[in-house]
Structures are given as structure tokens and as C-alpha cells.
Amino acid sequence: MKFRVLAINPGSTSTKVAVYEDDAVQFSEVINHASEYLETFSSVAAQYAFRHNAIISLLQENNISIHTLHAVVGRGGFLKPIASGTYVVNEAMVKALENPWKEHASNLGGLIARKIADEVGIQAYIVDPVVVDEMMSVARFSGLKGIERQSIFHALNQKAVARRLAEDIDKAYGSSNVIIAHLGGGITVGAHQCGKVVDVNNGLDGEGAFSPERSGTLPVGDIIKRCFSGRYSEDAIKRQIVGGGGMVSYFGTNDVREVEALAARHDEEASLAIDAMAYQVSKEIGAMAAVLEGNVDAIALTGGVAYSEVITQSIMKRIAFIAPVHIYPGEDEMTALAMGALRVLKQEEEAKEYE
């Protein structure tokens, strides 16, 4: 029997929708949302009906009946820290996603999946949400009592790429040591030790390399001064760290291609910033090599920025001494979502219950 799965991935500026029949994609579309329009909503949660309707209209326009589906899967959001895997969107999860502890478009993934699944009486799932937490105890120390480091990262893409990398080097994910650098609008670099992400930078809270739109780690003294200068609200400071940080703060764009175009026109600051981002990513990878005590089977660069040859070369010249580097540009979160649901439908894996 073949299984049909609808996958939904709400992002900050788009909602990605795909239908899979087993592992073959039957339909895939990105609904782009104008940022000016999204800004008219008071919160991400307030976009729920708008995004749900947009998905339903798209499916209808393409003659895809939700009655032909066997499951719906969405990108999961800010739940409590949980183990990696596929989770049923149960009542406890709905409650948590309706009251998330952090705003992020992915909070809508499970909720919209559940709404569509309920309409036709099938199961809704999420897979590897951003709060997957497999961090080892020693990595949780921040250096200040009362503040713990948190595992917030691109778990869905990192796990999918890590499995693909392990396959490409003829190893099982569960018995390999790999470093995955997700280079998207946000950047996270994770140390995957025998199938567990034992350390990773928090991609949404000012840790790690700067990225197209996030500051990464900042000199704490200077940020304290800025916080208490009386010139900025708490929201404004947060916006400088996520959304308005990184390349956005230097060049007013989160599109690395635009910064590369500036560099190509001999803008020295743009050239330097591109190299600085690559330099910081390389330092993070070096740090994760230390986490793995030098036992690194391979390293992967993934995400949209990994399409840039200038950036991948600049990283590789600094880290190639550690282990072989594989490049998987872009991300395949839709397939990762669908395959997570499919493993459950095919009874290869048991869906977990959120408590």
C-alpha cells in the first residue's frame, strides 16, 4: 500500500506545502507571504487562519483532495525540550503550541496539520522540532549560575543531512561522529555523536556565528551598555539579535547573493563581511571538533548559503584539515517531514507522545 502525506512548513516569510506518495513528491509549492502583510498580524499565532486558508486554497486550486491523505505532518515549534523523532500532535501538544514560550512561525506547523487531519479523521504529526534536546550535561553550562545553554537549532534539516552524510560515507548515523553546519537565514553548527546532537549553538538567542539575519555571539559588555542606554526597547534589542542582526545590520539585506554582488563590485566591507561570516562558521566547526575529541568522520555544509562557492571555499580552507567536507546546498525539510511521518505509517518507527 502507498501512503499519501501532506507536509506543511510555515517559515518567517513563506509557507511551504508538499504532498508525497511514499517517498516520491507529487506536489510541492511555496506560498510566499509579503512581509508587510504578515506585519499586520499582532503575533505569529494570529496568522493561523490566514495560513490555513492559504494552504486549503492552494490544494483546491491543484485538485488535491485532503480526503486522499493518510497523514498530515507539520514543522514543530517551541515545545519543551524533547528527544528527536516523530510525534503525534496530541492535546498536550496543541495546548503547548497555542501558548509557546517563544514566537516562531514553526509553532503553526503542528496546529495547522492537526486542523486539516481532524477534518478527515487522520493523524497529524510533527518531526524533529527546533527544541530537540540531546545536549550532554557538560555543554549546558553557560558560565553563570541560573542561566543554562539551550538546544535550539535546525534539528529537522540537521538530522536529515546527518543521516544522508552518514549514508554517503557508508556508516550508520547511530555509529558516526559528524559535524553539521546549517547555513540559512540563521546558522547552527551541531556536533552529532553516535546519532545524538551533543552540542549545538542556540540559533535564536545570540550564540554562534553571525548569519544573514542574526548577530550570533556578541561582546556581552557592549550589549549590556546598549540595553541600558535608554535608546532601545527590549523588543528592539531582540530584533537586533534575530532578524536585524548579521548581514542585515551591515548591509540592510538578508540575501547573501546581494552582499556577494556588492563584493563583486569591489565593495571591501562586503568582501570582508562575507569572509568574516565564513571565518566564524569555521571557528564553530573547530569548536565542535573539540567536542568530538577530534574523532570526526565527516563535516557537512548545508542550507541556502552553502550554494555560495566563495563561502564554502572560505570555510573549507580553514576546516578541511579536520575531516572530509561534504556540501549539501539548500535544505530538504519537506522530505524530512514526510519521511518522518512515513516511517510511522509504515510501522518502521513508533510515534512519540508529547507529555
Ligand X SMILES: CCCC(=O)OP(=O)(O)O
Name the residue nearer to ligand ADP (CB basis): 208 or 303.
303
**Per-residue contact track with ligand X, 101 to 140, x per CB under 6 A?**
-----------------------------x----------
**Per-residue contact track with ligand X, 141 to 170, x per CB under 6 A?**
-----------xxx----------------
Residue pair 281/209 in contact by the 8 Å Cβ criterion? yes
Q: Which of ligand X, ligand ADP, none does residue 204 bind to, with CB < 5 to 8 Å depending on kind?
A: ligand X
DSSP string computed for 174-233:
GG-EEEEEEESSSEEEEEEETTEEEEE--TTTT-SS--SSB--S--HHHHHHHHTSSS--
Residue 12 as a binder of ligand X (CB under 6 A): the answer is yes
Among residue numbers 202 through 221, which ones bind ligand ADP (CB under 6 A)?
212
Q: Is 333 exposed, middle or buried (0-12, 13-18, 19+ CB in 10 A)?
A: buried
Residue 18 as a binder of ligand ADP (CB under 6 A): the answer is no
Name the residue nearer to ligand ADP (CB basis): 7 or 117.
7
Cα distance between residue 106 and residue 129, in whole Å = 8
Q: Which of 10, 76, 184, 190 binds ligand ADP (CB under 6 A)?
A: 184
Amino acid at 231: R
Name the residue nearer to ligand X (CB basis): 66 or 256.
256
Name the residue nearer to ligand X (CB basis): 185 or 195.
185
- DSSP alpha helices (H): ranges in 39-106? 48-61, 91-98
Q: Which of ligand X, ligand ADP, none does residue 153 bind to, with CB < 5 to 8 Å depending on kind?
A: ligand X
Q: Which residues bind ligand ADP (CB under 6 A)?
A: 11, 184-186, 212, 254-257, 303-305, 307-308, 331
